[in-house]
C-alpha cells in the first residue's frame, strides 16, 4: 500500500471514531447530488459504507474513495445553479434541523460573489471576490492580497497599481458574478476592476480591496454589498464559504481531489461548515471544503446572512483560515496598520538632529584612485537630473557631498540621493553598533531640500541606507570607522523604501563581501556605486516631491587577474539590480529579445545581475570604461558566438549564481 493510501486509511479511522461515517451513511439514502459528481449510485455508495476499512481493497474499493465519499457528504461543496444551492435538503445530521431553510435565506446574496478574472495574463482567473461596500459612484469588492498580486503591486500609499505583461501591456482584472454550472456568459454581470484601493503589505492580513463601476439604475444586473457581522463569529457557528474552487495540485493530493470533484472546477459553489475559533488568535478557522480558487471567498454566517470572515488559506480535508470581519472593518475605515515586530532591547527613535557644514571638515569622500592599478571615476549621472552643489564644493568635486569612506551625489530638486560612491577595504573592517537611529540633516545643503522624520511617518516606508552601513565601517583607526558609521545616518544618504523592499535584500547586502573573498578577484578592496533607477513613473512620498524608487542598482569594481596573463591585474566590474523585475522585462522587450522574456517571473523583490551596458540603458548613467571590464558581457558574447544568444540577465538566487 502506498503512503497516500496509508494516510487515507489513518484519516478514515479517525473519521470513523468521530462518528462521521455513521452520519454520512444516514444521508446516502436521500441520494444527495454529490453522488452524481463522484460518479456513484446509491447502491455503490451504500456498499462502500458497509465495508470495514480493512476490507476495502478486497471489495474493489480504496480507502481514499471511501474517505472522499464521507467528507463530501459531511462537508459537501454544493453547486450553485441559477442562484440556488443544489442539494441543500440532503445535508447530514452534523448540521442543525432547518439548515435547508437557512441556506434558502442567504441565496439572495449569492449573486454578489464573483470570480476574479485576469486580463493579458496567462492565468485566466485566480480567485473569488465579493461586494463589500457601496459608495456614491462605485462599489468596493474584497479579495485576497495574494490574488491581487498576480496582476498588481502595492505602492507606498497602500493602494495597488497593475503591473505589466510581457508585451509591455498593463495587466487588468475583472469580476464575473455568474460563472455557475451550465450558465451562459452574461456580459452584464462582468465588472472591470478600475484599481485596487487597498493592497495589504506582507506583514498585514491577506486583504485586497478593489473598485468597480456602479451599474446604471436601469442595468439588467444589479449589485448589492454583503453585510459585515457586527461581532466576530463564535466557535461552531454554522457558516458557508461561497466561491470558485479550482484544481489545486500544489496543496492537495491530485488523485484524491479528482475523486472529490470529478472535473467540476471553476464554478460557483456553496460549502457549508462550522467556525473553529481559538482564543487569542487573530484569524478564524473553519472546516468548509475549499480549494485554491476559494481564495478571497466570503465566510457567511447562515443564522443572519452576514460575513464573519474572508477565506485566505487552507488545505482540503485538513483546515482553513480566514481574516476576521473586525479586521475587514478596520481596512475599510483606514485604521488597519501593518504588524510591526519589536525586538527585545528596542530603543525608541530619537528626534532628528542637524550638523553644520563645518562638522564635515576633513572628509575626503570617494577616492577614484582607491584601487591604484586603474582609476574608477564617478559615472556621469542621467540627463535631466539636477545635482545640488554643497557649500564646501571644490572645482574637482563640484557636486559631491564628501563623507568618511564614501561620497554622495544629491538632487535637492528631488530630495533624493542620486548616487552613493563607496570605497571598501575589507582588511580594515572595524564593526560598529548601529546605535539608536538618530538621523541628521546635512548643513552643506538647504534644510528645505532634505527629507526629515515627519516625512517618514508611514510605518510601511523605511529610510533605506543607500550605502551599506556596515560596509562603511572601516579605517586605519577606530575613530575613522565610528565617523563613517555616523556619517551614514544623514537624510542625504537615505532613500525612501517600502519595508518589504528594504528588509528582503539577503543577496544584495552581501555581494561586496562575496566578491572580495572570491578566488577570481584580487585582494580585499573594491569600489561600489549604488543608486536609484528613476524612470519617471515612481510614486511620490506624500506631498514632498520625492520619488519612492522601485528599482536600485549596484556596480562593484575589483581587481582581477587577466586570463592568460602572468599576474597582470585589471579592473573587474559587475552590475546588479534590485527589482520586482518589470524593469528587466521591459529592457528585454525593447531589445527584441521576446524568446527570453517568456517564462520571466517577477513579483517579489529579487537581485538580478545585468550587463553594465544594459544598466546604462535602464538607468541613464554612463559608467565609461567599466563596460569593457564586465565579465557577464564577455560571457554572453562568447555563448552567443557558439549558438543562440542567452538571456543577458542572471537571477541571483545565491552568490554561486554570480558571473565573475
Say if 344 falls within a structural domain: no
Look at residue 347 in the predicted model and tell me its pLDDT.
42
Is 340's pLDDT higher than 60? no
One domain, residues 143 and 41: no
Look at residue 194 in the predicted model and tell me its pLDDT.
94
Which three cell numbers mark 129?
471576490
pTM for the model stands at 0.51
Last residue of a domain, which of 172, 198, 213? 213
Q: Measuring CA to CA, which residue among 552, 545, 551 is closest to residue 468?
A: 552
Is 261's pLDDT higher than 80? no
341 falls in which pLDDT band (50, 70, 90)? very low
Give the H or E element holding residue 631: helix 631-642
Say if 336 falls within a structural domain: no
Give all strands of the β-sheet with 569-579 in edge-to-edge order: 400-402, 406-411, 416-425, 521-532, 552-561, 569-579, 606-610, 649-651
Q: How many domains would you assign to the chain? A: 3
Is 158's pLDDT higher than 70? yes
Average pLDDT over residues 359-368: 95
Say if 360 falls within a structural domain: yes
Distance in angstroms (rounded) separating the CA atoms of residues 18 and 659: 59
pLDDT in tens, 589-618: 665 544 443 443 444 577 889 999 999 999
Last residue of a domain, which of 150, 183, 213? 213
Average pLDDT over residues 652-656: 76
One domain, residues 43 and 130: no
Distance in angstroms (rounded) separating the CA atoms of residues 326 and 229: 8
Mean pLDDT (the chain, rounded): 81
Say if 186 falls within a structural domain: yes
Say if 245 falls within a structural domain: no
Q: Measuring CA to CA, which residue among 352, 353, 356 is closest to residue 443?
A: 356
One domain, residues 55 and 160: no
Distance in angstroms (rounded) separating the CA atoms of residues 145 and 139: 18
Look at residue 343 in the predicted model and tell me its pLDDT.
31
One domain, residues 438 and 487: yes
Look at residue 210 in the predicted model and tell me its pLDDT.
96
251 falls in which pLDDT band (50, 70, 90)? very low
Distance in angstroms (rounded) separating the CA atoms of residues 578 and 464: 13
Look at residue 603 in the predicted model and tell me its pLDDT.
47
Say if 256 falls within a structural domain: no
One domain, residues 588 and 487: yes
One domain, residues 60 and 152: no
133 falls in which pLDDT band (50, 70, 90)? very high
Are 244 and 179 in contact, with CB atoms under 8 Å apart?
yes
Q: What is the CATH number of the domain that holds 186?
A: 2.40.10.10
pLDDT in tens, 405-436: 999 999 999 999 999 999 999 888 888 876 65
One domain, residues 121 and 68: no
- Least confident range from 155-169, 191-205, 232-246: namely 155-169
The residues facing 649 across adjacent strands are 610
Q: What is the CATH number of the domain that holds 626?
A: 3.40.570.10
Distance in angstroms (rounded) separating the CA atoms of residues 268 and 245: 8
One domain, residues 68 and 116: no
pLDDT in tens, 434-459: 665 789 999 999 999 999 998 988 76
Task: For the chain, report the end-to-end CA distance as a whole number of angstroms.
Answer: 51
Higher pLDDT, 219 or 579: 219
Average pLDDT over residues 269-292: 78
Look at residue 249 in the predicted model and tell me its pLDDT.
39
One domain, residues 407 and 529: yes
Say if 640 falls within a structural domain: yes
Are 323 and 297 in contact, with CB atoms under 8 Å apart?
no
Is 67's pLDDT higher than 70? no
Which SS3 state, helix, strand or coil, does residue 419 take? strand
- Name, of 158-162, 399-403, 512-516, the range with top average pLDDT: 399-403
- Residues 298, 303, 308, 313: is their CA dihedral positive or negative? negative
Identify the domain containing residue 42 by its residue range: 1-74
Last residue of a domain, which of 181, 213, 245? 213
Which three cell numbers mark 218?
436601469
Distance in angstroms (rounded) separating the CA atoms of residues 349 and 438: 6
- What b/e readout covers 608-640, taking b as 16+ CB neighbours within 10 angstroms? bbbbbbbbbebbbbebeebbebbbbbebbeeee
One domain, residues 138 and 193: yes
One domain, residues 391 and 467: yes
Distance in angstroms (rounded) separating the CA atoms of residues 423 and 646: 33
Say if 259 falls within a structural domain: no
Is 28's pLDDT higher than 90? no
Give whole-number Cα distances, 315 to 205, 321, 343, in Å. 19, 9, 32
Distance in angstroms (rounded) separating the CA atoms of residues 190 and 256: 33
24 falls in which pLDDT band (50, 70, 90)? low
pLDDT in tens, 513-557: 777 777 667 778 899 999 999 988 788 888 898 988 888 999 999
Average pLDDT over residues 84-103: 86
One domain, residues 155 and 198: yes
Distance in angstroms (rounded) separating the CA atoms of residues 226 and 307: 7
Backbone φ and ψ for 589, nearest 5 degrees, come out as -65, -45
Give whole-number Cα distances, 500 to 198, 326, 348, 607, in Å. 16, 25, 21, 14
3-state secondary structure 395-417: CCCCCEEECCCEEEEEECCCCEE
Amino acid at each position: 500500500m502506498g503512503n497516500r493510501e496509508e494516510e487515507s486509511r489513518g484519516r478514515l479511522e479517525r473519521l470513523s471514531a468521530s462518528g462521521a461515517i455513521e452520519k454520512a451513511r444516514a444521508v446516502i439514502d436521500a441520494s444527495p447530488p454529490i453522488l452524481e459528481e463522484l460518479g456513484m449510485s446509491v447502491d455503490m455508495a451504500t456498499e462502500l459504507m458497509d465495508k470495514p476499512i480493512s476490507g476495502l481493497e478486497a471489495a474493489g474499493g480504496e480507502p481514499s474513495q471511501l474517505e472522499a465519499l464521507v467528507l463530501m457528504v459531511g462537508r459537501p461543496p454544493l453547486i450553485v445553479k441559477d442562484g440556488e444551492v443544489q442539494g441543500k435538503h440532503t445535508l447530514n445530521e452534523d448540521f442543525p434541523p432547518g439548515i435547508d431553510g437557512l441556506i434558502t435565506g442567504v441565496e439572495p446574496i449569492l449573486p454578489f460573489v464573483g470570480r476574479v478574472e485576469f486580463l493579458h495574463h496567462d492565468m485566466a482567473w485566480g480567485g473569488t471576490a465579493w461586494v463589500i461596500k457601496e459608495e456614491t459612484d462605485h462599489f468596493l469588492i474584497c479579495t485576497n492580497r495574494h490574488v491581487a498580486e498576480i496582476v498588481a503591486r502595492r505602492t507606498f500609499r497602500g493602494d495597488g497599481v497593475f503591473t505589466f505583461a510581457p508585451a509591455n501591456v498593463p495587466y487588468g482584472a475583472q469580476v464575473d458574478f455568474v460563472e455557475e454550472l451550465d450558465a451562459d456568459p452574461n456580459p452584464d454581470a462582468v465588472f472591470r476592476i478600475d484599481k485596487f484601493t487597498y493592497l495589504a503589505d506582507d506583514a498585514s492580513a491577506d486583504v485586497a480591496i478593489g473598485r468597480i463601476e456602479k451599474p446604471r439604475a436601469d442595468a439588467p444586473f444589479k449589485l448589492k454589498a454583503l453585510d459585515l457581522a457586527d461581532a466576530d463569529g463564535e466557535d461552531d457557528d454554522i457558516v458557508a464559504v461561497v466561491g470558485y474552487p479550482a484544481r489545486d495540485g500544489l496543496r492537495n493530493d491530485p488523485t484524491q481531489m479528482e475523486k472529490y470533484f470529478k472535473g467540476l472546477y471553476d464554478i460557483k459553489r456553496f460549502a457549508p461548515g462550522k467556525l473553529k475559533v481559538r482564543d487569542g488568535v487573530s484569524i478564524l478557522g473553519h472546516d468548509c471544503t475549499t480549494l485554491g480558487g476559494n481564495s478571497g471567498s466570503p465566510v457567511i454566517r447562515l443564522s443572519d446572512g452576514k460575513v464573519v470572515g474572508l477565506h485566505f488559506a487552507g488545505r482540503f480535508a485538513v483546515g482553513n483560515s480566514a481574516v476576521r470581519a473586525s479586521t475587514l472593518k478596520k481596512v475599510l475605515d483606514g485604521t488597519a496598520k501593518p504588524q510591526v515586530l519589536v525586538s527585545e532591547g528596542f530603543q525608541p527613535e530619537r528626534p532628528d538632529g542637524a550638523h553644520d557644514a563645518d562638522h564635515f571638515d576633513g572628509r575626503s569622500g570617494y577616492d577614484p584612485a582607491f584601487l591604484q592599478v586603474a582609476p574608477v571615476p564617478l559615472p556621469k549621472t542621467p540627463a535631466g537630473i539636477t545635482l545640488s552643489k554643497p557649500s564646501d564644493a571644490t572645482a574637482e568635486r563640484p557636486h559631491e557631498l564628501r563623507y568618511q569612506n564614501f561620497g554622495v551625489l544629491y538632487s535637492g530638486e528631488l530630495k533624493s540621493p542620486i548616487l552613493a560612491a563607496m570605497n571598501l577595504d575589507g582588511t580594515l573592517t572595524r564593526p560598529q553598533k548601529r546605535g539608536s537611529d538618530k538621523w541628521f540633516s546635512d548643513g552643506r545643503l538647504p534644510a528645505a531640500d532634505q527629507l526629515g522624520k515627519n516625512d517618514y511617518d508611514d510605518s510601511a516606508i523605511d529610510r533605506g541606507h543607500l550605502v551599506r552601513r556596515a560596509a562603511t565601517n572601516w579605517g586605519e583607526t577606530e575613530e575613522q570607522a565610528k565617523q563613517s558609521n555616523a556619517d551614514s545616518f544623514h537624510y542625504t544618504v537615505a532613500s525612501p523604501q517600502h519595508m518589504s523592499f528594504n528588509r528582503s535584500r539577503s543577496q544584495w547586502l552581501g555581494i561586496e563581501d562575496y566578491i572580495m573573498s572570491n578566488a577570481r578577484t584580487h585582494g580585499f578592496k573594491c569600489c561600489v556605486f549604488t543608486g536609484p533607477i528613476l524612470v519617471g513613473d515612481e510614486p511620490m512620498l506624500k506631498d514632498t516631491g520625492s520619488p519612492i524608487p522601485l528599482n536600485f542598482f549596484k556596480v562593484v569594481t575589483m581587481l582581477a587577474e587577466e586570463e592568460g596573463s602572468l599576474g597582470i591585474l585589471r579592473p573587474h566590474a559587475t552590475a546588479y539590480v534590485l527589482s520586482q523585475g518589470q524593469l528587466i522585462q521591459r529592457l528585454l522587450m525593447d531589445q527584441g529579445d521576446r524568446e527570453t522574456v517568456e517564462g520571466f517571473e517577477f513579483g517579489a523583490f529579487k537581485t538580478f545581475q545585468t550587463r553594465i551596458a544594459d544598466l546604462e540603458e535602464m538607468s541613464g548613467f554612463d559608467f565609461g570604461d567599466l563596460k569593457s571590464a564586465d565579465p557577464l558581457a564577455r560571457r554572453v558574447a562568447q555563448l552567443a558566438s557558439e549558438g543562440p544568444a542567452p538571456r543577458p540577465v542572471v537571477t541571483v538566487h545565491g552568490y554561486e549564481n554570480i558571473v565573475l
